[in-house]
Structure formats: C-alpha cells, structure tokens
Amino acid sequence: MQTTETTKKPIFYGWYVCAAAVFIGFVAVGARNSFGVFVLPMSDEFGWSRFQVSIAAGLGIVV
C-alpha cells in the first residue's frame, strides 16, 4: 500500500503586488484625466481664472 502526500504550493505574493500596482495606475490616470471636470467649479470657488487653476494642477503633477 502506497501513501502519497500532497503538499500545497506556497502563495506567490508577487501577483498581489502586480494587481495592486495596476489598480493604482488606473486610479492615478483616471484622477489626472478627470481634472477638466473640476476646472470651472474650482474657478468659481477660489475666484481664480481657468489659467491659474490649470497652472496649479500642472505644478501638482510635476511635483
């Protein structure tokens, strides 16, 4: 009579890291590309021109 032992493979956490990086990338690109929706409300709120709001956003992306 033979007995075979089955061993579980350890979990490879690299796929979790890869999935998290892809998710963060999607969120970052979405946040950056949706800025145009907020330009006019921010202009009204702060009393800035669209140029000033865009410069502030551009500096935020660069920094």
Is residue 6 domain-resident? Answer: no
Is residue 34 domain-resident? Answer: yes
Statement: residue 52 has pLDDT above 70: yes
Is residue 5 domain-resident? Answer: no
Alpha carbon distance 15, 57 (integer Å): 33
Question: Residue 50: which residues within 8 A CB-CB, separation 6 or more?
Answer: 39, 40, 43
- The range of the structural domain enclosing residue 31 comes to 14-62
Q: What total of structural domains would you count in the chain?
A: 1
What pLDDT does 47 receive? 94
Is residue 4 domain-resident? Answer: no
Is residue 52 domain-resident? Answer: yes
7-49: per-residue pLDDT in tens? 888 888 999 999 999 999 999 888 888 888 989 999 999 999 9
Is residue 8 domain-resident? Answer: no
Coil/strand/helix, residue 46: helix
pLDDT class of 1 with cuts at 50, 70, 90: low
Which pTM value belongs to this model?
A: 0.54
